Structure 1
Amino acid sequence: MKKTLMLMLLSGLILSACGREETIDDIDQKAVDRWQALIAGDYQKAHGYIAPSHRELENLDSYQTRMATARLSIDWQAAKFVNKDCQEYSCEVTMVITYLYKFQKRSLGETKGKTAVKENWIKSDKKWYFLPDEKKKI
């Protein structure tokens, strides 16, 4: 009887967690997690952070090819959340990305740098998603 009751309670907790509405506070970690996936080369995971409406425009195969091509000259190394400016259903997130740039001409070597990146995040179906800027495409 105790086991049955415990399983029912546990199942209820798991199901309620699945339907949890994400808050503005969740964006900080989600933005870092998306970049960690990019850094690790886990493009499938990174693609999952993209807004569903945009995923319809760029499928996983196209995204993986584009990201792998970008990695030929840039090696993203670290991502740090800086701040966010949010409304109810949208946020502008600022991240600092540390990278290693490899010059196409090998004799020039490589250089390490940091850059601030502004990202747009939108809320859709109770979750926050990254919305790529068509001009930047990262």
Structure 2
Amino acid sequence: MLNNKFFGVLLTASLLTACGSGEDVLGKAAEGRWNALISGDMQAAYQYYTKAFQETTPLDMFKHKVHSGLWKKAEVTKVTCTEPGKRCDVDVEVTAAIRMRGLKEPMESSATLHEVWVKDGWFSDWRYVN
């Protein structure tokens, strides 16, 4: 009986820890997607998108549609889970370098983008909804 109680406490503690750190894990996933986009690793970035997106947009088409080189940095500023473990909103401050006629150096501009991330199932990784 003691082993069952210990197992129950251990399971509960691990589930609570997993739930509590979910926003941190999601923040790292969002930054991972942006780091891949910034570095031009479209194959790595593509892995963060939902299965539905991947089924309707082949990797070659994704590579053709997304152009790297514009973005300079991205930082997750806020993660809000409306349905913890299922759906979360992520705010990311993205800085882009824009070349403008008449200027020698690109002009940097930043904006906060709102992203939606979901989990398809209990053991699913977080996926970006395009």
Provide the TM-score with structure 2 as the length reference: 0.74
- 2:116 corresponds to: 120
CA distance in 2, matches of 1:53, 1:102: 35
1:108 deviation in Å?
5.3
Deviation readout 1:29-50 (Å, 9 max, x if unpaired)? 0000100000000000000000
Opposite residue 26 of structure 2, the aligned amino acid is I
Query: Percentage identity across aligned positions?
Result: 25
Q: Is the 8 A contact 2:96 2:109 kept in 1?
A: yes
- 1:26 corresponds to: 25
Deviation readout 1:79-136 (Å, 9 max, x if unpaired)? 1010011113101100001110124xx445631110100001000232110001xxxx
Matches within 5 A, 1:92-131: 92-103=89-100, 106-107=101-102, 110-125=106-121, 126-131=124-129
1:57 deviation in Å?
1.1
Opposite residue 84 of structure 1, the aligned amino acid is V
Deviation readout 1:33-71 (Å, 9 max, x if unpaired)? 100000000000000000011111111001000112xx4
5+ unaligned residues in a row in structure 2: which ranges?
1-17
Q: Is the 8 A contact 2:23 2:79 kept in 1?
A: no
CA distance in 1, matches of 2:70, 2:32: 17
CA distance in 1, matches of 2:44, 2:62: 11
**Which stretches of structure 1, 4 residues or longer, exceed 6 Å deviation after superposition?**
none
